[in-house]
Amino acid sequence: EVQLVESGGGLVQPGGSLTLSCAASGFTFSSYWMHWVRQVPGKGLAWVSRINPDGSTTTYADSVKGRFSISRDNAKNTLFLQMNSLRAEDTAVYYCVRSLLGKDDYWGQGTLVPVSS
């Protein structure tokens, strides 16, 4: 059974940093593009970042470019999102997603990151 389990969310002050993790199981993690997508509670979805299967190519939304960094450890089947210089507008539920927009698209349950003083 495919599983994506996000962790690392929690309250952080503006200007602070946080690292999210996504533990993958039930599939060959190293074969898939992985993405982070966020959702302000009660609002729409926003794509954050993606990384290719071997970790050599990354892409970011303009809203997080220069502040967030996506990475992966294929030996440990884990995806990461390092978030720096956090702002109130980064407050959201962050989802780890396998193969976004493809037939193997699969979402984790998300982790909440409130940014507030």
Partner 1 sequence: QSVLTQPPSASGTPGQRVTIYCSGSSSNIGKNNVCWYQQLPGTAPKLLVYGNNQRPAGVPDRFSGSKSGTSASLAISGLRSEDEGEYFCAVWDDSQSGVVFGGGTQLTVL
Size of the site for partner 1 (CB under 8 A): 22
- Contact between residue 6 and residue 81 where contact means Cβ atoms under 8 Å apart: no
Which of 44, 66, 75, 117 touches partner 1 (CB under 8 A)?
44
Which of 12, 20, 22, 37 touches partner 1 (CB under 8 A)?
37
Regarding 26 and contact with partner 1 (CB under 8 A), the answer is: no
Q: Measure Cα distances from 76 to 19, 37, 70, 73, 90 in Å.
A: 16, 21, 15, 5, 27
Which of 22, 29, 35, 92 touches partner 1 (CB under 8 A)?
35
Regarding 110 and contact with partner 1 (CB under 8 A), the answer is: yes
CB of 107 to partner 1, least distance (A): 4
Cα distance between residue 40 and residue 46, in whole Å: 9
Contact string 66-95 vs partner 1 (x = CB under 8 A): -----------------------------x
CB of 105 to partner 1, least distance (A): 4
Q: Measure Cα distances from 88 to 15, 40, 93, 115, 117 in Å.
A: 9, 11, 13, 5, 9
Q: DSSP string spanning 52-70? A: -TTS--EEE-TTTTTTEEE
CB of 117 to partner 1, least distance (A): 28
